[in-house]
């Protein structure tokens, strides 16, 4: 059974640029959630996708957007990057919305 994978592992961007992060869910999981973890803090919920539809959103601006594909993999897009977007971005998959979430290794984004 393949676990949750994310790419890239690290990324450096400059303020104002756009970034796309990718996540492959664990085999058989149809729900993907994205979290942002700033240094020294717990992860914060960005949004969740269930069967290709957004299924809940946290307190993040519209420049954070996402997609889920028919194979249940997912993308997180961030436009107009700001310095405060520097963080570890974590993807989690689950069998359904309320079930145990399994996390990927994360993508470390640095915005200069």
Partner 1 sequence: GIQVEQSPPDLILQEGANSTLRCNFSDSVNNLQWFHQNPWGQLINLFYIPSGTKQNGRLSATTVATERYSLLYISSSQTTDSGVYFCAVRNTGRRALTFGSGTRLQVQP
The residues binding partner 1 (CB under 8 A) are 33, 35, 37, 41-45, 48, 55-56, 58, 88, 90, 92, 97-103, 105-106, 108
Residue 29: CB partners within 8 Å, gap ≥ 6?
72, 93, 94, 95, 102
Q: Is 62 helix (H, G, I), strand (E, B) or coil?
A: coil
Q: How far is the CB of 84 from partner 1 (least distance, A)?
A: 18
CB of 73 to partner 1, least distance (A): 19
User: Of 16 and 52, which has the nearer Cβ to partner 1?
Assistant: 52
Q: Output 67 or 105, the one with its CB closest to partner 1.
A: 105
Nearer to partner 1, 3 or 16 (CB): 3
Shortest distance in whole angstroms from residue 24 CB to partner 1: 15
Other CB atoms within 10 A of residue 8 CB: 12
Minimum CB–partner distance for residue 60 and partner 1 (Å): 11
Question: Residue 76 in contact with residue 54, Cβ under 8 Å?
Answer: no
Q: Residue 45 pairs with which residues in a beta bridge?
A: 35
Tell me the backbone φ, ψ of residue 25, rounded to 5 degrees. -75, 165
């Amino acid at each position: 059974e393949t676990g949750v994978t994310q790419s890239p592992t690290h990324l450096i961007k400059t303020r104002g640029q756009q970034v796309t992060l990718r996540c492959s869910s664990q085999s058989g999981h149809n729900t993907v959630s994205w979290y942002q973890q700033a240094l020294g803090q717990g992860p914060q919920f960005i949004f969740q996708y269930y069967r290709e539809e957004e299924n809940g959103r946290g307190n993040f601006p519209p420049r954070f957007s996402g997609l889920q594909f028919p194979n249940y993999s997912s993308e997180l897009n961030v436009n107009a990057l700001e310095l405060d977007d520097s963080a570890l971005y974590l993807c989690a998959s689950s069998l359904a919305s309320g079930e145990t979430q399994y996390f990927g290794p994360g993508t470390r984004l640095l915005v200069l």
